């Protein structure tokens, strides 16, 4: 199943191998890509004994608790605790929550337009949905939610927060956010119907620009349509593939998208229980239209999961230059297992890891761009001062990088000169940037520089670039101690 995009009901950065929940109808997890689990399987006898133990405890509570007891509620609570104890990406969904999940994954629904998660007991915005109410109001990736309609969200579950944020289109919800500087930002947002459209395109002279918001069932078809529209306007000398704030989706969709830029048979991603036991997923033949075109991929800390697969595939195959900031760092795959065909809910379980074509694990470390560039001066300063505040490493019980690789926080970041006191324009307040948005987006401008440097329509312009440098360790110690 894909990540929910657009409303508040989000299974964070969920990367699945198949969009069809019928592929896993049983409660027993199986490896969907053929990877082998080296651990001994639990016997049926063990499972029966554990089920009997749970049943005995439930009966004791029902018969002896001094107060009303809801057996279904107790069971749901137990299942949620069990799945949630594994990692921050595994979860049990009740039947209604699973229905909401399916609706959000395949249709349209009303919400404020945020991708959210619960991290360290706090409700946090992973990314605002492009052109949604939250994005237009300036809500940023990494902001926390303190209250909804005056009620605190402390110790609120993701599902409960979702229920409170979603509603009927046209109704309002009052939310108190905490921005990246720790300041309260109270907003009243009007819920809207969020349409799940994942690909937007335009021309910038002879260069094509494609923004993919998420990897859904329709993404490859939409990318094909966008590709055709771009080529109708004439030959292209390069293409910008914008994956910033793209939190993931189907692994199938990611492979199809990467295949449009790679030679058939090139490795897109490797999946398995460990680096020593992986299955390579290779590119299919998606035609030659984009295969030889110079490409720049834009990434940032909101690029996660399936978007990291595409970025790493093009980087490892030397097919594109990556520009931006280090990505989120989620190298795990979840599968959805409906229980009793969904009548008793479903389990989302982390089933395996994925690795780049060269065999690297990006779990907790992300994908490092070839050219480290911030969108604005303030973003550059934040990147060199403290790095990224929300990454896979901050997700509850996030598995370690088994290769013991460390996240690369560059000491130097390119950015524009200081813009002064005016606030930054929010990224993707509308999904397709116009000329004014491009002029204010230093990452897009640098991508254009790279592509134009080797194209017939112009040399690399003399753009003013400022290098923002990380303070030396002794200076950081003084700052941290003040």
Just list the catalytic residues.
305, 316, 330
Give the DSSP H/E element, type plus range, for residue 321.
strand 321-324
SS (H, E, C) 396-415: CCCCCCCCCCCCCCCCEEEE
Looking at the chain, the number of H-run helices and the number of E-run strands are: 12, 21
Q: Name 321's Cβ contacts closer than 8 Å, sequence gap at least 6.
A: 295, 296, 297, 370, 371, 450
Q: What does the DSSP 8-state code read for residue 224?
A: H
Tokens of 291: 């295969």
Q: Are strands 295-299 and 151-152 parallel, antiparallel or unpaired?
A: unpaired
How many other β-carbons are positioned within 10 Å of the β-carbon of residue 243?
A: 28
Specify whether the CB–CB gap between 246 and 307 falls below 8 A: yes
- Nearest partner of 332 among 358, 351, 345, judged by Cα: 351
d(CA 377, CA 441): 10
How many other β-carbons are positioned within 10 Å of the β-carbon of residue 101?
A: 27
Tokens of 298: 């834009």
Q: Name 278's Cβ contacts closer than 8 Å, sequence gap at least 6.
A: 35, 270, 271, 272, 355, 359
Give the DSSP H/E element, type plus range, for residue 230.
helix 219-232
d(CA 296, CA 236): 13
Q: Name 137's Cβ contacts closer than 8 Å, sequence gap at least 6.
A: 187, 189
d(CA 334, CA 394): 18
* Phi, psi torsion values for 234, nearest 5 degrees: 120, 175
């Amino acid at each position: 199943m894909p990540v929910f995009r657009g409303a508040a009901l989000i299974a964070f950065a969920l990367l699945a191998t198949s969009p069809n929940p019928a592929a896993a109808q049983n409660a027993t997890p199986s490896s969907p890509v053929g990877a082998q689990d080296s651990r001994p399987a639990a016997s049926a006898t063990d499972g029966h004994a554990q089920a009997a133990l749970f049943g005995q405890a439930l009966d004791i509570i029902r018969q002896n608790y001094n107060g009303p007891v809801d057996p279904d509620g107790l069971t749901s609570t137990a299942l949620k605790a069990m799945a949630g104890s594994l990692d921050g990406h595994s979860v049990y969904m009740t039947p209604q929550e699973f229905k909401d999940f399916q609706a959000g994954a395949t249709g349209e629904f009303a919400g404020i337009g945020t991708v959210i998660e619960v991290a360290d007991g706090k409700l946090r915005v992973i990314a605002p949905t492009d052109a949604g109410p939250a994005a237009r109001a300036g809500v940023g990736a990494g902001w926390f939610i303190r209250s909804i309609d005056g009620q605190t969200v402390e110790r609120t579950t993701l599902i409960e927060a979702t229920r409170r944020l979603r509603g009927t289109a046209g109704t309002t919800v009052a939310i108190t956010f905490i921005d990246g500087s720790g300041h309260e930002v109270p907003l009243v947002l009007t819920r809207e119907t969020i349409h799940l459209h994942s690909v937007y395109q335009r021309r910038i002279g002879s260069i094509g620009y494609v923004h993919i918001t998420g990897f859904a069932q329709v993404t490859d078809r939409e990318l094909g349509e966008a590709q055709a529209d771009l080529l109708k306007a004439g030959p292209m000398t390069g293409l910008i593939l914008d994956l910033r704030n793209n939190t993931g989706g189907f692994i199938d969709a990611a492979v199809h998208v990467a295949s449009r830029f790679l030679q058939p048979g090139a490795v897109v991603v490797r999946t398995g229980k460990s680096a020593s036991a992986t299955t390579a997923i290779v590119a299919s033949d998606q035609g030659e239209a984009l295969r030889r075109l110079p490409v720049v991929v834009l990434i940032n800390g909101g690029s996660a999961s399936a978007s990291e697969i595409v970025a790493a595939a093009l980087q490892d195959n030397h097919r594109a230059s990556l520009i931006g900031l280090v990505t989120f760092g989620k190298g795990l795959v979840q599968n959805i297992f409906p229980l009793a065909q969904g009548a008793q809910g479903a389990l989302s379980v982390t089933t395996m890891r994925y690795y780049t074509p060269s065999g690297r694990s990006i779990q907790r470390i992300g994908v490092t761009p070839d050219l480290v560039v911030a969108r604005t001066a303030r973003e550059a300063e934040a990147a060199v001062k403290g790095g990224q505040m929300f990454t896979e490493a901050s997700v509850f019980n996030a598995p370690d990088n088994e290769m013991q690789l460390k996240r690369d926080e560059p000491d130097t970041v390119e950015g524009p000169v200081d813009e002064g006191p005016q606030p930054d324009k929010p990224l993707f307040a509308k999904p397709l940037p116009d000329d004014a948005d491009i002029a204010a987006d230093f990452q897009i401008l640098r991508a254009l520089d790279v592509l134009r440097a080797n194209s017939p329509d112009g040399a690399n312009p003399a753009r003013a670039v400022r290098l923002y440098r990380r303070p030396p360790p002794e200076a950081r110690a003084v700052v941290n101690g003040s």
